[in-house]
């Protein structure tokens, strides 16, 4: 019985906690342990407490539902307010007054486009005139004669008669060797030859006497024959000794070393006092190169062979050689055409000769060679920088009344700083030589004469 009362009291306590503070106090009071003398009172008040707990529960549920309904109403009100604002904005945008305010902006004309700014360019002139037909190549200067001077006898250099790099003529003395020994040998040989001549004089006297005696039968034939043999032997000895003397004189000429050709000597390898020998490197003395005239060797494509041969047969092909890296040039002609075409490169070797009076061409130099193969009498020439490449071919910008116009052209060939055109221009046009990157067809320009890039 007491356990049932405790369970009911716990249930009532949970209900009164949900109901509010008064109910909590009542539940707290009811939880206190009952005394024996209160048992009749608890039994009497149980129906009242059950009713009170039910009322508290209903009130709590009503409070929760009211709070949930308030939050739901606030959210719906916000959505309706936003929808009403959007509708108002759309109505305002479509109203006649608003449309009237937008009409001036929509009907206003776009601002005028500013005029294109003129592009500064450099210009040149196209010219219609005769032009040579040329072929370009790279050649190397080669001496007509390059001779290394070596000693032909062993000896010691007594004197040097040149300065390094000096111009010399054929026969000029370069070195003098110590020739005292060979001179003594020559004098000895000369004495032997003189002795032989004296011997011949004696043998001839003996021959004449024996011949007279033999004719008068005063002498024997044997003596005559011996005299003839002695005379012939003396003649032979003279010839042998004379040859030995000549040989010594030839050797003596080797002790005076001269220039074999006219040209320029290089840097001497041996100096005065040097001992030189024929069998080692000490025997190399100096190199002499012939400078005037001089050769330039180069190659041309085989497709030009027929033209080259034809022009050369009519009196020679003019050739201009310009030293690379300088403005030194010389005029010459084709001297020889090689007898075969190189099977590897397809080029044919050519040699040109130049008088080279000022010695502007030097052995070993590289030259830009221009060979003149003919002449075009009617052609248009423009500066090379005026020709530009495009997707459709070569073009040239021509200035007409301050406007750049694109002109397609056909380039026949390039000649140094010029381009020879076969079609596209008539001659006399003003062409752009610098500044084309900023140009299109119809661009206004301001021009400045480019005197360094004329058509010729």
Can you spell out the DSSP letters for 423-441? ES--S--EEEEE-GGG--T
Alpha carbon distances (Å) from 169 to 74, 205, 254, 258, 314: 124, 52, 18, 9, 35
Q: Give 153-178 pLDDT, tens digit per residue.
A: 999 999 999 999 999 999 999 999 99
User: What angle do helix axes 221-253 and 180-215 make, rounded to 10 degrees?
Assistant: 160
Q: Give 393-422 pLDDT, tens digit per residue.
A: 999 999 998 999 999 999 988 887 889 998
* Residue 150, both tokens: 């070596």
* Residue 341, both tokens: 């075409």
Q: Which pLDDT band holds residue 316 (cuts at 50, 70, 90)?
A: confident
Res 415: pLDDT: 80
Rounded Cα distance, 195 and 177, in Å: 30
Q: Give 347-386 pLDDT, tens digit per residue.
A: 999 999 999 999 999 999 999 999 988 888 788 999 999 9
Q: What is the pTM of this model?
A: 0.57
Domain ranges of the chain: 2-89, 122-129+377-453
List Cβ neighbours of 321 (8 Å cut-off, separation of 6 or more). Answer: 139, 141, 296, 329, 330, 332, 352, 354, 361, 367, 368, 369, 370
* pLDDT(2) > 70: no
Rounded Cα distance, 96 and 92, in Å: 9
Considering only residues 31 and 154, tell me which one the structure prediction assigns the higher pLDDT: 154
Residue pair 418/412 in contact (Cβ under 8 Å)? The answer is no
Q: Which pLDDT band holds residue 54 (cuts at 50, 70, 90)?
A: confident
The number of beta carbons lying within 10 Å of the beta carbon of residue 181 is 10
Q: Give 294-315 pLDDT, tens digit per residue.
A: 999 999 999 888 888 888 888 7
Res 71: pLDDT: 60
Res 171: pLDDT: 94
Q: Which pLDDT band holds residue 13 (cuts at 50, 70, 90)?
A: very low
Q: Which residues pair with 257 in a beta bridge?
A: 175
* Residue 176, both tokens: 């003098």
* pLDDT(317) > 90: no
Q: Which pLDDT band holds residue 60 (cuts at 50, 70, 90)?
A: confident
List Cβ neighbours of 29 (8 Å cut-off, separation of 6 or more). Answer: none
Q: Which pLDDT band holds residue 448 (cuts at 50, 70, 90)?
A: confident
Give exposure, 52-89, as e/b (b: 16+ Cβ within 10 Å): bbeebbeebeeeeeeeeeeeeeeeeeeeeeeeeeeeee
DSSP state of 8: H
**On the CB side of 347, how many CA atoms lie within 13 Å of its CA?**
12
Indicate the class that CATH gives domain 122-129+377-453: mainly beta
The pLDDT of 208-212, averaged and rounded, is 87
Q: Give 284-294 pLDDT, tens digit per residue.
A: 999 999 999 99
Residue pair 179/252 in contact (Cβ under 8 Å)? The answer is yes
Q: Which residues pair with 320 in a beta bridge?
A: 331, 370
Residue pair 177/277 in contact (Cβ under 8 Å)? The answer is no
Percent residues over pLDDT 90 in the chain: 48
Percent residues over pLDDT 70 in the chain: 75
Residue pair 140/366 in contact (Cβ under 8 Å)? The answer is yes
């Amino acid at each position: 019985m007491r356990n049932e009362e405790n369970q009911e009291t716990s249930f009532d306590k949970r209900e009164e906690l949900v109901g509010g503070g008064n109910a909590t106090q009542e539940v707290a009071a009811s939880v206190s342990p009952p005394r024996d003398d209160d048992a009749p009172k608890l039994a009497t008040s149980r129906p009242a407490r059950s009713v009170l707990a039910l009322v508290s529960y209903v009130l709590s549920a009503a409070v929760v539902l009211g709070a949930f309904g308030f939050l739901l109403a606030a959210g719906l009100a916000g959505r309706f307010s936003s929808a009403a604002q959007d509708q108002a904005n759309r109505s305002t945008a479509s109203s006649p007054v608003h449309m009237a305010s937008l009409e001036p902006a929509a009907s206003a004309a776009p601002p005028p486009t500013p005029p294109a700014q003129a592009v500064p360019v450099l210009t040149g002139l196209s010219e219609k005139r005769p032009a040579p037909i040329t072929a370009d190549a790279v050649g190397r200067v080669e001496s007509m004669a390059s001779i290394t001077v070596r000693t032909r006898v062993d000896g010691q250099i007594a004197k040097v008669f040149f300065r390094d790099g000096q111009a010399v003529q054929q026969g000029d003395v370069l070195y003098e060797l110590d020739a005292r020994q060979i001179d003594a040998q020559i004098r000895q040989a000369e004495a032997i030859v003189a002795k032989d001549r004296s011997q011949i004089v004696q043998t001839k006297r003996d021959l004449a006497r024996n011949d007279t005696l033999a004719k008068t039968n005063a002498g024997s034939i044997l003596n005559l024959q011996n005299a003839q043999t002695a005379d012939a032997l003396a003649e032979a000895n003279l010839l042998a000794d004379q040859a030995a003397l000549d040989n010594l004189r030839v050797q003596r000429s080797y002790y005076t070393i001269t220039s074999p050709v006219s040209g320029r000597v290089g840097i001497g390898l041996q100096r005065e006092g040097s001992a030189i020998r024929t069998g080692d490197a000490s025997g190399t003395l100096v190199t002499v190169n012939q400078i005037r005239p001089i050769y330039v060797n180069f190659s041309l494509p085989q497709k030009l062979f027929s033209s080259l041969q034809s022009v050369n047969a009519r009196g020679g092909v003019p050739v201009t050689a310009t030293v690379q890296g300088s403005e030194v040039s010389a005029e010459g002609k084709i001297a020889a055409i090689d007898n075969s075409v190189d099977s590897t490169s397809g080029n044919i070797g050519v040699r040109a000769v130049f008088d080279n009076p000022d010695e502007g061409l030097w052995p070993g130099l590289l030259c830009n060679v221009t060979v003149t193969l003919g002449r075009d009498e009617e052609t248009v020439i423009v500066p090379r920088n005026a020709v530009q490449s495009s997707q459709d071919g070569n073009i040239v910008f021509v200035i007409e009344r301050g406007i750049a116009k694109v002109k397609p052209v056909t380039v026949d060939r390039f000649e140094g700083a010029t381009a020879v055109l076969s079609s596209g221009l008539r001659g006399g046009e003003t062409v752009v030589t610098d500044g084309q990157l900023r140009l299109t067809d119809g661009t206004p320009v301001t021009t400045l004469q480019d005197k360094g890039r004329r058509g010729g």
